[in-house]
Structure 1
């Protein structure tokens, strides 16, 4: 999502099936206006840039609502009534995106208005254009009315566990209390999919998984292969935009289908972040570097302390359980597999790496293989246990299933607006 192909509206008629056009392009534009951190820890580190990530989802949702009001095929999230079928979908989408971006506290309004004006100039001035503008503004207004933070949720400040008088690191964790105060798009509450507790420190499962990350995730591991080391590095912050674009480019897809794809993706990722933050804040489970260096204190005779142990990757500054990368990957894999009708894409799953900007696009056979690699990479990197990976993957898939059941569902055939 790095390049803006701005003025390709070109007055396409309202019912022309879409290719990777206005929706992808204006998501690109929004990305430039609202620079993102890595996708969910992808370091789902979204809690550091939560406001911008949430705003990106609003851009996608507003474009969906605007286009869906014209090509009426899915349930509206905000209850927007269908508009004129003759309205210009391209204009409606870019108007909705611009209006949401202009409302952001850090908006560069002059730049937004100039880009919007130039894009509009490529469309003939007619009633369809004016109707598209009106619907885009209505969609954006409806989305912007949705609350962001739930004031009823107490945001308890982080207090490190300390022995009075004893020094502890003073850096605040990346997962902040406000992470669970965002209003979910899909979930009923932040803890709806909270996992069961991690294994007891005295259990055989804990000892087994601790030993695995100690052996394979060490900076000096002799058991981790070269390919596994590369996997750990490449999967730190992957980007799925090449795969999403490939889906959007399929023949027969309509603009509203692409708008729904990006809106669903954004809503899912936001809620995965909330669910991840809830689990991490609730359990506050220790990272492998802490556990391995202090294994003589866990009351488990099957573990052995290694006071000088270091992970391959730098350990994220927040609690370990559940694995956020795994939660994100499992959720996206579940959603994208469903979008593809349960089949692996014939072209493969194409992903890039945000952590290695000069890396080539990689192709994996299916979404589940990608999710499996993302999860395993966290153990190979020395920052997560296998039980945390499995818990995160299961949570992510559950959130994705709930998203597909609860929001932006396809309308019954009788309610779908006939193609014009």
Structure 2
């Protein structure tokens, strides 16, 4: 789960007051997203916020030079003639080096290349100082709240009966971060899953049983492809196209990436809280035990196997749906519902594949949701609950942080 959370969510310099290239912020955001998943298997809880802190540090550094938005960290305005590229590169480099010191060689090389391209020494040095200060401020923000004690997961069973012993991949610390904008991890907790005796449970159960099984004859070839393609989606192609769009400023892009990452973190916290709270069974468990749920409309299929491997954590709500909805809401605010270049999405789960293009953020979000049913790992009511959490988390972030300053 840590690999997914650190990975999903997300992968010529001009100085002295001139408009800066959008590439510096985007390049370092992508670089940070490459390093974080690479280190994910041995990561610490604090490293889970590394990419967000790097994005936030870049925003604060560039916004200090080109003051257009409210500061999240109460970071002061700086020298308006400082190099924005030096400030952004230094901010990201310093944060990532703090979190991943074993990657010092790669980070040093990238930083040297970035700084060597800035000819104006005075502007470069001024930008470096601002970037370092912004990095220190970002590193101190958004960490684990010591007042919140994580609750270890306890497998539930009857005394003396065997139960699977692998602990869930959603770790207890995931709900103990200080949120960026939402009030708390449980503030967006959805209503309970549907009642097992209800018609809705029977309908959604049967949909997954028919379409999500490994040997399903009703799932189309395209639906099978989407189940696999959407296991780990990558919006980097769209993010870069937006960042490189005509008229975009460095600070606009820094803000976009920071909000994108902060929304991911807050939405993921809310998702982890709800999963731990409800501890709802997955389709493979429910369908193999359909005769025990008290609903005559849910036939037991004791040998049923889903198309995809079932993630090792609770079902409700759908995590992919939370993140897809959160990012769709953020990017709709940035580009409108139907970006001119389309929503271009790659697949980390299928590296040797073409980039898919969808016409709107809503359609992409819904395709992610549907793909979890085709994969046999989620029920539709769970997907809808996840989408609602993601949209709510995004709206709170968008409405409360980094707002444009009057007149800018």
Q: TM-score, normalised by structure 1?
A: 0.91
Deviation, 1:105, is: 4.8
Question: Taking structure 1 as reference, are residues 191 and 37 closer, same or farther at Cα in structure 2, changes over 3 Å only?
Answer: farther
Q: In the alignment, which residue of structure 1 is the partner of 2:273?
A: 278
| Superposed counterparts of 1:238-249, under 5 Å | 238-249=233-244
Q: How far, CA to CA, are the matches of 2:212 and 2:180 in structure 1?
A: 35
Q: How far off is 1:326 after superposition?
A: 0.6
Tell me whether 1:14 sits opposite 2:17 in the alignment: yes
Instruction: Map 1:185-200 to 2 at 5 A.
Output: 185-200=180-195
Task: Find the partner of 2:246 among 247, 251, 256.
Answer: 251
Q: Residue 145 of structure 1: CA displacement? A: 1.6
CA distance in 2, matches of 1:353, 1:407: 30
Q: Distance in 1 between matches of 2:274 and 2:225?
A: 29
Structure-1 separation of matches of 2:64 and 2:243: 20
Alignment of 1:149-164 (within 5 A): 149-164=144-159
My pick for the range that moved more, 325-334 or 278-287, is 325-334
Q: Report the equivalent of 1:235.
A: 230
Higher helix share: 2
Structure 2 counterpart of 1:386, from 361, 375, 380: 380
CA shift digits 1:56-108 (9 cap, x unpaired): 11111101100000010111111001111111100000011111112115443
Aligned counterpart for 2:69 among listed residues 70, 74, 79: 74
Cα distance change on mapping 1:119 and 1:37 into 2, 3 Å: closer
* Distance in 2, Cα, partners of 1:126 & 1:329: 42
* Within-5 A mapping of 1:109-120: 109-120=104-115
- Please report the RMSD computed on the Cα atoms of aligned residues, expressed in angstroms: 1.9
Identify unmatched segments of 5+ residues in structure 2: 1-6
- Size of the aligned set, in residue pairs, is 398
Q: How far off is 1:396 after superposition?
A: 0.4
1:361 corresponds to 2:355 = yes
Structure 1, unaligned runs of 5 or more: 3-7, 39-45
What is the rounded CA distance, in whole Å, between the counterparts of 2:114 and 2:181 in structure 1?
33
Deviation at 1:238, TM superposition (A): 0.8
- Distance (whole Å) between structure 2 residues aligned to residue 372 and residue 15 of structure 1: 41
| TM-score relative to the length of structure 2 | 0.93
- Give the Cα–Cα distance (whole angstroms) in 2 for the partners of residues 241 and 94 of structure 1: 19
User: 2: CA distance between counterparts of 1:211 and 1:190?
Assistant: 32
Residue of structure 1 aligned with 2:31, choices 10, 14, 29 = 29
Query: Does the 8 Å CA contact 2:369/2:383 hold for their aligned counterparts?
Result: yes
Aligned to 1:43: none
1:349 aligned to 2:343? Answer: yes
Counterpart pick for 1:95 among 68, 90, 97:
90
- Residue 318 of structure 2 is matched in structure 1 by 323
Residues 253-262 or 113-122, more deviating: 113-122
Q: Which moved more, 1:151-160 or 1:351-360?
A: 151-160
User: What SS is found at the alignment partner of 1:350?
Assistant: strand
The one of 371, 381, 400 equivalent to 2:365 is 371
Q: Secondary structure at the match of 1:305?
A: coil
Specify the SS of the correspondent of 2:346: strand
2:164 and 2:252 map into 1 onto residues whose CA distance is 48
Which residue in 2 is equivalent to 1:401?
A: 395
Contact 1:47 1:174 in 2 (8 A): no
Residue of structure 1 equivalent to 2:295: 300
Deviation at residue 49 of structure 1 after TM alignment: 7.5
| Aligned residues of 2:68 and 2:405 also touching (Cα < 8 A) | yes
Change beyond 3 A, Cα 1:81–1:33? same
Q: In the TM superposition, what is the alpha-carbon distance from 1:271 to its structure 2 partner?
A: 1.1
Stretch of structure 1 that moved more, 141-150 or 260-269:
141-150
Cα displacement (A) at 1:147: 4.7
User: For the Cα contact (< 8 Å) 1:66–1:139, is it kept in 2?
Assistant: yes
Residue 139 of structure 1: aligned partner: 134
Compare 150-159 and 276-285 and name the one that shifted more: 150-159
Deviation at residue 130 of structure 1 after TM alignment = 1.6
Cα deviations by residue, 1:199-233 (Å, 9 ceiling, x for unpaired): 11111111110011000101111111111111111
Alpha-carbon distance in structure 1 between the residues aligned to 2:101 and 2:164: 32
Q: Following the alignment from structure 1 to structure 2, what is the Cα–Cα distance between the partners of residues 409 and 398?
A: 17
In structure 2, what is the equivalent of residue 174 of structure 1? 169
User: Alignment partner for residue 56 of structure 1, among 51, 55, 72?
Assistant: 51
Confirm or deny: 8 A CA contact 1:327 1:393 kept in the other structure. Answer: yes
**What is aligned with 1:221?**
216
Q: What is the CA-CA distance between 1:402 and the residue it aligns to?
A: 0.6
The 3-state SS of whatever aligns with 1:35 is: helix
